Amino acid sequence: MNSIKEKEAHNIDKVGVIGLGYVGLPLLHTFHRAGLTVFGFDVDQSKIDSIKSGKSYIKHFNDEQIVELSESERCTVTSDFSKLSDVNSILICVPTPLNHHREPDMTYVVKTAETIGNYLQKEQLVILESTTYPGTTDELLTDILEERSGMKQGEDFFLAYSPEREDPGNLDFNTKSIPKVVGSTTEKGRELAVKLYEAALDTVIPVSSAKVAESAKLLENIFRSVNIALVNEMKLVMDAMDIDIHEVINAAATKPFGFMKFTPGPGLGGHCIPIDPFYLTWKAREYGLNTRFIELAGEVNNSMPEYVVNKTMLALNERGIALKGSHVLTIGISYKPNVDDMRESPSFVIMDRLVDLGAEVEFFDPWIPMIPPSREHMNWKGKESIKWEQSVISAFDAVVIVTDHKNINYLELKEWSDCIIDTRNVYPNLSESDKEKIYKA
């Protein structure tokens, strides 16, 4: 074992990032730009090949940034996990989805921890960045790594938790500028993690434990989920009263204190808000507690796709067209504007439901020309986006705007389509003639 003096001088010059997706790839790039030697690991060989060839597989992360990695002697990307032995610190950035019972699916974290345990070296620092329930780092991760490696956490190796805060496509914030919360089971683990992140990021915020850091991430997204559910429920009430919810929200937002603006939508998407609250709900049951507020918010948000489908059905009905046998176009497959991220997108829920009711469904998305394989919605794999042409668009009985990408000509859409279901307030101020063809949902 190294001496105490050597422990205190723990090196941070070699960083390994496991999982090169929307979180791991920007993190790898950020540490590399800070001058550190980086190792990127992924089981998906196509991602490794793309980086080596200087091509990005994430549209908002450009080829120039990939080339920085592919042409650098300080960057190695590989599917050979034995090279984990060559790094000082290991960052875990793998998915933490829900299973079909809306319970945490820790498969990716468990398999990754088992792999790390096979190659774990003394003095290495392991940091989990994947969103999870409080106690994952202290309990699950510690047990697996100690059992696999035969070493002791806090003595032979160190653990920390630092939740990812990526917001794909957000031009105002990036991995380097977003404040980084860091917690650990041990004081030494926290010190090492803070030292590592301070080498590459602008602001690092240490907290007293890994559980605090894990809980902070959940609170961030539960806060958003609950408030989105509130405006979604308000939308239903305002719609019944024939009041424009968006005008109501904009009016309320003029108050300079005590109000934060949230907007309604067709349902929640992304890797955080639809999933993270249920991690706390699941863990709370262990303590005999019910998270009624969180679960109610989830129910409201999960009901929004069905509301959109009903609005589509009513809009078609006004034209004497049955939903069964109709041709419906969905605008947008990604869960948010101006990215190619489809994770948990409500578009798929809406499209599946329309198909179940007998509609023929196509989609248009300038960011996603073809739907790639995914853990869910494999029935849409390989489906191609239609062409943006008047003859094509006008042939649909209804068009549902689910994702409001900025590079879509909505004026053309209004000219080409006689029935538009607007879930994103793309058309904020409707004239009387507009109201004959545009339905807010």
Residues tagged active-site: 272
Run of H or E residues at 297: helix 292-302
Q: Which of 115, 116, 122, 128 is CA-nearest to residue 193?
A: 128
- The half-sphere exposure of 3 on its side-chain side, counting CA atoms within 13 A, is 3
End-to-end CA distance of the chain: 64
Residues 88, 39 contacting (CB under 8 angstroms): no
* Cα angle 192, 195, 201; round to 5: 135
Residues 309, 376 contacting (CB under 8 angstroms): no
Q: Which residue has tokens 């805060």?
A: 165
Burial of 186 (0-12, 13-18, 19+ CB in 10 A): middle
Residue 285: Cβ within 10 Å count? 11
Beta strand 398-401 with 89-92: parallel, antiparallel or unpaired?
Answer: unpaired
Burial of 91 (0-12, 13-18, 19+ CB in 10 A): buried
Residues 265, 441 contacting (CB under 8 angstroms): no
CA-based R_g, the chain, Å: 24
Distance CA 144, CA 159 (A): 12
Residues 106, 130 contacting (CB under 8 angstroms): no
Residue type, 249: I
